[in-house]
Amino acid sequence: MNFENILTTSENGIATVTINRPTKLNALNKATIQELHMAFEALEKDEKVRAIILTGSENKAFVAGADISEFADFSVSEGAELAAKGQASLFDFVENLKTPVIAAVNGFALGGGLELAMACHFRIASDNAKMGLPEVSLGVIPGYGGTQRLPQLVGKGKAMELIMTAGMLSAEEAKTAGLVNHVVPQAELLELANSIAQKIMRNSPLAIGKAIEAINANFKDGVDGYAIEIKNFGESFGTEDFKEGTGAFLEKRKPVFTGK
């Protein structure tokens, strides 16, 4: 696929999506959000892709936020539409993918950038990364899910403080807070993302997709996560992956999962 604002590569079952507007610190304009949607939609359909890594180009920014120049003159209804469309086409979309998405946060992840990282299934960061939701400093609030996902990840009190102060966490602080899982020097970031992706790929893609859905259900209003877990657990027994996984264990060999 050819895009203007993102790069995609795919190798041995691992796809890497790189947001590529370095002169604007990879800020998310409308076109970039649209391209990301199209890329993730295609990667989810591609059975060969077992894990996706999302990162930013060059070494300064993952994403420095939504593109401020695009919404500075928006009205109330345009603002609401921006958030609703963005959440549906990218942020909720990524969170609900069955293919695991790892955010490799390689620099500033601010505003919509941190919101995008938080919509991924988990995050790792380079030691120069800085993360925050500075929207109130612009007179607006986080609109791509930040007020919901940040407290889920770090707790209500920490989220309140970070959002109200428009502050930034260092990579180590973000790790301590539970926002990122690992911090490594920048040169090792993609290597680590790839090695985690490889561990994921040893397991049943079908079971992973069902686990993502069940974990996400814990955070959805009006959805009984335990009921989703029971349903998905039961469904697993009807898959070839389950027969292969249990069969391989009993035969003392490595399983070969097909995702069926």
- Residues of this chain that interact with ligand COA (CB under 6 A) are 24-25, 27, 64-69, 108, 110-112, 134-135, 138
* CB nearer to ligand COA: pick between 62 and 257: 62
Q: How far is the CB of 216 from ligand COA (least distance, A)?
A: 25
Q: Could you say which of 135, 173, 229, 235 is catalytic?
A: 135
What are the strands, taking DSSP E only, across 78-224?
Answer: 101-105, 108-110, 122-126, 130-132, 169-170, 182-184
Structure tokens at 10: 């795919």
Q: How far is the CB of 240 from ligand COA (least distance, A)?
A: 45
Among 212, 178, 247, 248, CA closest to 50: 212
Q: How far is the CB of 32 from ligand COA (least distance, A)?
A: 11
Q: How far is the CB of 180 from ligand COA (least distance, A)?
A: 18
* CB nearer to ligand COA: pick between 15 and 110: 110
Q: Could you say which of 115, 161, 188, 235 is catalytic?
A: 115
| Annotation marks residue 135 as catalytic | yes
Number of Cβ within 10 Å of residue 128's Cβ equals 17
* CB nearer to ligand COA: pick between 142 and 205: 142
The H or E element that residue 63 is part of is strand 61-63
* CB nearer to ligand COA: pick between 65 and 145: 65
- The 3-state secondary structure of 65-105 reads CECHHHHCCCCHHHHHHHHHHHHHHHHHHHHCCCCCEEEEE
Catalytic residue positions? Answer: 115, 135
